[in-house]
Structure formats: structure tokens, C-alpha cells
Amino acid sequence: MPPLIEKEVVVCGAGVIGLQAALTLLEEGFRVTIVAKHWPGEKDIEYTSPWAGAHYRSYAAPDDLQFQKYELETYKYWLELLKKDGAECGLSILPDTYHWDCAKHGTIEGLWWRTHVPNFIVHEKSKLLPSTELAVTYDSFCINVPRYLDYLISRVGELGVKTITAEVDLLEEIFELPGIQELDVIGIVNCTGMGARGLVPDDKVYPTKGQTVLVKGEAKQITFREGNDYVAYVIPRVGSGSTVLGGNQGVNDWSPKPDDELTNKILQRCKVLAPELLNKHGEFDVMEVCVGRRPTREGGVRIELVEYDGGKFICHCYGHGGAGYQTSVGSAREVCRLVKEFVERKG
């Protein structure tokens, strides 16, 4: 553990991005207070992280080197974390098969991450699913989301984080909260996801609705299928006796309610992907239908430090869309770098 930096930083938000930012700052020696409306263990449409699948699947474009860096740093960190803490942290490595209904020209070459993940293979045509043209398999991370969030909140607690449950209309109001004024805070790290739309405010932030179906049993592996106008995926929640089926990309869809027609489509599309989970009637045993809002941003993720009045800062870290988990460590390290540079500039 580095020596304590006599500086207090407030992290706003307790989703995976906020918790990882807090953990990284604490590990670098900062004092940290987390201010949040929602916490691990709660389920609310405003609180995105508990609704995730989740697994490691790259969202970075072949030419987006910065986003690739966030993803790779997270993947490598998770490998070490799994060695150290095992399944206790909620991470598992499983085969992940990615199917395409239509193999576009250059598809394989566009998978920039293929040389960075273990056991990457391209399937022979004779072994493809019906109506698909291409498939690859590689070793990916599967995240038991409730367990991983519990692990993060436990780790920051062990390192001395302080927590405040509060709701504000603008980020700047955090500096005036009871319990914050006394701490001589040097800045805020804004990890509010969808909340950034109103708190910053930033009208480039919008929801991408995700709908999933939680079913009984654990699938033997992760499976993802990309169709011409749909996606389907199977993500086992290892250790829970359940599997997450999805999904959809409801751009700018604010509805918190499940779509029954979509639920049926998800169940039908996933039958061929996880037949081992079907009951004697050839159906999945449904436990729950879930809806979440991926905090997406026009122009992509924003990680930027802005100097504020009185020699303080606000460091923004939001807009990750569906890539929050798999970029969480890389994003947190970038935040920490910016904060340390600020402290060094200010002496």
C-alpha cells in the first residue's frame, strides 16, 4: 500500500465504475468518501450495475486504442484477482462462443482482441450453428454481478472508505453536503452513469434499454449470437444456480417495463444456444424478467478532469454504455492518473 496521500476525494456513484474508482484511489493512498443514492444489494431502474449480465466482450472499435486499453487493463487485472481471491470475488473464466448470422468481410481481422485472450479459435464451417456463417471461441470472464459488487464494497470498506447516502440535483452541491464540508475535499469523481444527464448536466447521455430473462440452471459456457437485427446471449451466473438470457439494445428507450413479446423472442432465440437448460417440456424455467438502462453517451465515454472553484476539481467518468464492467479497472486507473496529476500541479 502506498503511503497515505493527505487528500480527500469524493466519488459520486456506487455502481461498478464508482466502486472501482474508489478502490483504485484508496489503493493509491487517497482518502475516499463515496456519496450515492443506491448501493449494492438494491435494485432500482436508476441503478444500472445490478442488472448487468455480465461477461467480458469487447466493445472497442479496432481504431479506438484508448478504449482498448481500458478493456485490456481490466482483463489482466481480473486474471490476477482471480488467482488471489478465487470465486469469492464473483469472477469465473469460461469458454465464450460468439456466433454471427452474417460473416461480414474482414470480421476476424476486426477482432483486435483475438491475440490478447487465451484459447482463441475459429470454428470450422461443419461445426457452425444452423443459419450462421462464422463462430469463434475464446476464454472470457463471467461475472456473478451481485457477488462482484459485494466484493468491491467489502474491499473499499477494508481500506477505510466513508459512505454517505444522499441525492443532489447538481454535482457541485456535493461540496456542501453535511459530512463533506468538514473533510477538506479536493475534488469529486463523477461516476453517476445515467445520472450524469441531469447532474452535469450532459444531454449527450441517453439510455440503452437492456432486457434479460433469469432462468434456472447454469449454462455450461457463455454464448453470444449476433443476427442481422438482433442479439442473443447466454451468461451463466456461476455459483447462483441461474443463467442470464438476453437481450436487446433499446436506444433511447426509457420504459422501465419488460416487453412480453421481447421476452418470448429471447427465450426462443436462446434455446439453440443453451439446450442443456431446457426442462422436459423443452422450455426454460423462468425466474425473473429484468430491465436496466445502460448509461450510453453520444461521442463515447467521458473521462475528463475539470478544474473547479477554490482549487478543487470534478473528474468525470461516465458514458460506458454496456461496457462498464469490462472497462472498470482501466477507467479507474485513468481517473487516478488525472487526479494525481492535479495534486502534483497544485503542490
**pLDDT tens-place string over residues 81-123:** 999 998 899 999 999 999 999 988 678 988 999 999 999 999 9
Contact between residue 191 and residue 17 where contact means Cβ atoms under 8 Å apart: yes
Of 16, 81, 18, the residue nearest 335 (C-alpha): 18
Q: Whole-number mean pLDDT of the chain?
A: 95
CA angle centred on 182, ends 178 and 186, rounded to 5° = 105
Instruction: Output b/e per residue, 245-280; b: 16+ Cβ within 10 A.
Output: bbbbbbeebeeeeebeebbeebbebbeebbeebbee
Task: Give residue-wise pLDDT tens across range 242-299.
Answer: 999 998 889 999 999 999 999 999 999 999 999 999 999 999 999 999 999 999 999 9
How many residues in total does the chain contain? Answer: 347
- pTM value? 0.96
Structure confidence by residue, pLDDT tens digits, 202-218 = 999 999 999 999 999 99
Q: For the segment 172-181, what is each residue's pLDDT rounded down to a tens digit?
A: 999 999 999 8
Q: How far apart are the first and last CA of the chain?
A: 22
